[in-house]
Structure 1
Amino acid sequence: MPNTRPLSPHLSIYRWRVNMLQSTLHRLTGLLLCIGTLLFTWGLIAAGTGEAAWRMFAGFCSGWFGVLLLILWTWSLSFHLCNGIQHLARDTGKNFGPPTRNRTHKPVYWSTGWVVILASMLLTALVWILLALQAGGSL
């Protein structure tokens, strides 16, 4: 028996928006923050345990996978910071009143969403450039 029911209308008008990307990234970076916290905890335990444990931790963090985890952790922190600032600004209620509901222009949070993503990437790059300069360019 063939299905003659039409598809739901939302499937034909669905568009991916930056606020959906921000929501997805917020959840992903939350997971990365948990992983980074475990890495940080390992470092604290290694520092308190002894030189051999610290060398093992430092060896892991200086490898490509450890550096990747640290960069992702830094980006997660930056993204959560920038996204939190945007949420605080949006909580003031500006640009959410009746004049902005007429659909004649894009909501302001679409453009600020891209600013949040870009700013978090720039902050991460700045942190790692400063770390490289502090370490004498050996990163």
Structure 2
Amino acid sequence: MTDATPRLRARPLSPHLQVWRWHITMLTSILHRVSGVGLYVGALILAAWAVCLAAGPDAYGAFKAVLGSPLGKLVLFALTAGLFYHLANGVRHLTWDAGKGLDVKSANASAVFALTFTVVATLAVWAIAFMTGAA
């Protein structure tokens, strides 16, 4: 006869980050999610800008002072990088949806391109902003 006494059985463990070897496509997947959340924060900042603009010159001046501070500029810089990264990685995903670039070599190359585009485009926008006095 079989033993019918209830016991805790060992449950299988799912892979964890310590098991997987980090690679660039893992990084880009995580950064895509992070940049998406960051863009939601950017949308809230944009909504606050519209509310302050509608509230009058004093509220708008206070909003400009906050975003013109070093911390505000850092947040705007991060939002710019997040926007460019999300754009580049979104195009990458659209390419994958078309069935192209799914092999490891192409996926790694497109990941490097997305990260490079992010850095170059963000620095270019902020360089133009500083040169024109907008930042």
Please give the range of the TM-score, normalised by the shorter of the 2 chains: 0.7 to 0.9
Rounded to whole Å, the distance in 1 between the matches of 2:43 and 2:96 is 29
Q: Which residue matches 1:68?
A: 74
Distance 1:76 1:95, change over 3 A: closer
Matched, 1:58 2:64: yes
Amino acid at match of 2:129: L
Equivalent pairs: percent with the same residue?
26
Unpaired segments ≥5 residues, structure 1: 101-105
Rounded to whole Å, the distance in 2 between the matches of 1:121 and 1:110 is 17
* Cα drift, residue 95 of structure 1: 4.9
Q: Which residue matches 1:120?
A: 118
Aligned positions of 1:20-99 closer than 5 A:
20-96=26-102
* Cα drift, residue 13 of structure 1: 6.7
SS of the equivalent of 1:93 reads coil
- 1:36-77: CA deviations, max 9, x gaps? 111111111111111110110000001011101111111111
Q: CA RMSD in A?
A: 2.4
- The normalised TM-score by structure 1 is 0.78
How many residues are paired up? 124
- Radius of gyration: which is bigger? 2
Rounded to whole Å, the distance in 2 between the matches of 1:109 and 1:55 is 46
Rounded to whole Å, the distance in 1 between the matches of 2:100 and 2:112 is 18
Amino acid at match of 2:57: E
Which one of 9, 19, 42 corresponds to residue 25 of structure 2? 19
